[in-house]
A and B are shown apart, each in its own frame.
Chain A
Amino acid sequence: DAGVIQSPRHEVTEMGQEVTLRCKPISGHNSLFWYRQTMMRGLELLIYFNNNVPIDDSGMPEDRFSAKMPNASFSTLKIQPSEPRDSAVYFCASSTTRYNEQFFGPGTRLTVL
């Protein structure tokens, strides 16, 4: 099994630009999570999908952030427009059910200049 796949691994962009982060969960997993990791705030859950449906987006910082899961094998997290304070490592994780172990991808390190 390839594990959770995220792309790109690193992204450097300028303030105001649109950023799209991508995630492919493990096949057969129907729960998907997006997290953000920063030094100040640690690991924060941004959004949770179950069977491709967003269940909880209360962690999404503001309207500049949006996430989609058009099918069971693909999800995107978009930031438009990006700001320097969005600089962080963004992780995608998936699990077989909402209760079970979450498997994390390698993360995308985002730097907004």
Chain B
Amino acid sequence: AQSVTQLGSHVSVSEGALVLLRCNYSSSVPPYLFWYVQYPNQGLQLLLKYTSAATLVKGINGFEAEFKKSETSFHLTKPSAHMSDAAEYFCADRDTSGGSNYKLTFGKGTLLTVNP
């Protein structure tokens, strides 16, 4: 079964600093990868998605992620953190094999704190 690992359940950065949230996937078939953000008391919102068209994917709110097959990684970055980026971030992989290609496997999430 595929799995998604997010290194670091909690990341704290200063406002204006680089944000780096790590995600590694395990699927042996080409993955369909997503990053979602969850603000307090809200549902998940799609930040960006990788669908094999380009290895560097740009998303909303200045976030981007780079797909690296050799490292089985899809890390999320933002050059300069803003206070409004404080939220929980989830990496997910969609099952692209067989008949269960609707299933998203989520990582455990990374809580991002931005300090003034």
Contact = CB atoms under 8 A, between A and B. Distances in A.
A61 interface: no
A104 B106 contact: no
A4 B43 contact: yes
A82 interface: no
Contact of A42 (B34, B43, B100, B109): B109
A105 interface: yes
A98 B102 contact: yes
Interface stretch (B13-21, B22-30, B44-52, B72-80): B44-52
B43 A107 contact: yes
Contact of A56 (B43, B100, B104): B100
A12 interface: no
A42 B107 contact: yes
A93 B94 CA distance: 15
A99 B101 contact: yes
A98 B106 contact: no
Interface residues of A, number: 21
A45 B43 contact: no
A9 to B, nearest CB: 8
Contacts of B90: 43
Contact of B106 (A42, A50, A99, A103): A42
Given A4-B43, A106-B41, A98 B104 contact: no
Interface string A39-52: 00011010010100
A102 B104 contact: yes
A91 interface: yes
Most chain B CB atoms below 10 A, which of A4, A33, A45: A45
B104 A45 contact: yes
User: Top 3 closest A-B pairs, CB basis?
Assistant: A104-B43, A98-B102, A43-B106
18 contacts: A42-B106, A42-B107, A42-B108, A42-B109, A43-B90, A45-B103, A45-B104, A56-B100, A98-B101, A99-B94, A102-B46, A102-B104, A104-B36, A104-B43, A104-B44, A105-B43, A106-B41, A107-B42
